[in-house]
Chains A and B, each alone.
Chain A
Amino acid sequence: MTIRHHFSDALLMAYAAGTLPEAFALVAATHLSLCDECRAALAAFEAVGGAVLDTTDAEPMGAHCLADTLERLDTPTEGRAERTRSAPEPRRGVLPAPLQDYIGGDLDQVKWRPIGMGVRQAILPTSGGGTVRLLHIPAGQSVPDHGHRGLELTLVLQGAFRDDTARFGPGDVEIATEELEHTPVAEAGQDCICLAATDARLRFNSLIPRLAQPFLRI
């Protein structure tokens, strides 16, 4: 897989800092599972986080904290329900593991719903603003001209699409901002499957003309 379109440094830094909304973070985790270039860049941005933490002026801990923590070390803390699980196991099947985590299985487990013109989608549950969905676009099919109210990240998982800017193949991510109005077309030969995240921010909404065809119903 030759990946030509990567995450931007700003988005990788936000993911490293832990401030990317969950919908975008899922696209990031999926792309990072496929792209060592971005994985290395992420590690560099995490190193910046390490440097920031290490140079933060210390806040003294309570007197008993160390003793309390030492006492805890021997008892495994299975009871604490953490939302952030440890990194998923290496891939089994077609789709990257973090994506399978959200689908609850591989590609064959996706619950597709038709949204017109042969295009199908499956919205994946996330919290914290933004929406992420899988899109299945038949080979050769074009998606109506649309603009974006905020940021849209589209990661190709299978097949390829083209728009006015470039061609996007497996592993590539298109970062589309408000300025971009485009007409993506799935390449002939193979249906295109993408993971697409948008932020449904309402901020600045009145300033932005509603260019969008209501294709994605957002």
Chain B
Amino acid sequence: MLTTIALLDRSCGPVGRPFYFGTARRATLPRGKGFVTVEQAETDWVALMLRVRDAQDKAAFAVLFRHFAPRIKAFLMKSGASAALAEECAQDVMATLWQKAGQFDPARASVATWVFTIARNRRIDALRRSRRPEPEALDWGPDSEPDQAEVYEMAQENRRLGAALATLPDKQRVLIERAYYGDLSHSEIADETGLPLGTIKSRIRLALDRLRHQMS
């Protein structure tokens, strides 16, 4: 099985290219170098996550792990955890991602967002030793999968948001990062982020409206 993971994770050129690498940037990749890293290719995290959710695919999980676990570890260290605790918690978060995969809804959150919420909850639990009250669950019924267009639009919105965050003036971006690392108290957080959140809000709102409609 480990061979399979290695094969999927370091797909060499177009031949061994697994389904979840997008094709958009294939033409621009250098030919003949024989090694495509996950970062260089446009990895379809949603497709991987759905493989985990629907087929308990461990190879897909390994690709997600290699990308997200080191970032969760870094995120938790920025939040004040030691390297050892952060590494342990990063593994817990990835294990939770596997166990709760059934709750992942690509119309309402990107994989990074979903990973973030699990990491945040683990941080509250492990670092702050406090409890987090959650809103009532609002889950898709088993027969009401969101449609592809909705999932695609959500991914686009998240890409735009990431780009907007990257282009914020340093001072502003650092403030936002500190808020999420848990470095700012609620009274230190400003109402104005400088990020264009209106469209992403209204898309999620539409998804919620549809969901409420199905539930009633």
Q: Contacts A52-B165, A151-B187 known; A32 to B135 CB distance under 8 Å?
A: yes
> Which of A84-92, A107-115, A185-193, A210-218 lies at the binding interface?
A84-92
Contact A61 B61 (CB under 8 A): no
> Which of A67-75, A136-144, A154-162 lies at the binding interface?
A67-75
Chain A, Cβ-Cβ closest to B206: A40
- Of residues 45 to 70 in A, which have CB atoms within 8 Å of B's CB atoms? 45-62, 65-70
CB distance from B205 to the nearest CB of A (A): 4
- Of residues 105 to 129 in B, which have CB atoms within 8 Å of A's CB atoms? 108-110, 112-117, 119-121, 123-125, 128-129
Contact B131 A83 (CB under 8 A): yes
Chain B, Cβ-Cβ closest to A29: B133
Q: Contacts A40-B205, A76-B99, A84-B121 known; A54 to B65 CB distance under 8 Å?
A: no
**Among candidates A11, A19, A84, residue contacting B134 with C-beta atoms closer than 8 Å:** A84
Majority secondary structure, A binding face: helix
Contact A36 B134 (CB under 8 A): no
CB distance from B207 to the nearest CB of A (A): 8
Contact A18 B137 (CB under 8 A): no
Q: Contacts A40-B205, A59-B73 known; A47 to B99 CB distance under 8 Å?
A: no
| A37 contacts the other chain (CB 8 A) | yes
What mask results when residues 1 to 22 of chain B are scored 1 for a CB within 8 Å of chain A, else 0?
A: 0100000000000000000000
What mask results when residues 74 to 112 of chain B are scored 1 for a CB within 8 Å of chain A, else 0?
A: 110110000100110011101100111001000011101
Q: Contacts A8-B191, A50-B114 known; A59 to B74 CB distance under 8 Å?
A: yes
Q: How many residues of A contact B (CB 8 A)?
A: 78
Interface size class of B (residues with CB under 8 A): 35 or more
Q: Contacts A59-B73, A62-B87, A101-B133 known; A10 to B190 CB distance under 8 Å?
A: yes
| A97 contacts the other chain (CB 8 A) | yes
CB distance from A213 to the nearest CB of B (A): 24
Measured in the bound complex, the distance between the Cα atoms of B128 and A105 in whole Å is 27
**Among candidates B66, B133, B197, residue contacting A22 with C-beta atoms closer than 8 Å:** B133
Q: Contacts A22-B130, A39-B208, A82-B125 known; A87 to B135 CB distance under 8 Å?
A: yes
Could you say which residues of chain B place their CB within 8 Å of the CB of A84? 121, 124-125, 131-132, 134
Q: Contacts A43-B108, A83-B131 known; A49 to B117 CB distance under 8 Å?
A: yes
| A208 contacts the other chain (CB 8 A) | no
| B29 contacts the other chain (CB 8 A) | no
| B36 contacts the other chain (CB 8 A) | no
Could you say which residues of chain A place their CB within 8 Å of the CB of B113? 43, 46-47, 49-51
Residues in chain B within 8 A of chain A (CB atoms): 2, 58, 61-62, 65-66, 69-75, 77-78, 83, 86-87, 90-92, 94-95, 98-100, 103, 108-110, 112-117, 119-121, 123-125, 128-138, 157-158, 161-162, 165-166, 176-177, 179-182, 184-187, 189-193, 195, 197, 200-202, 204-205, 208-209, 212
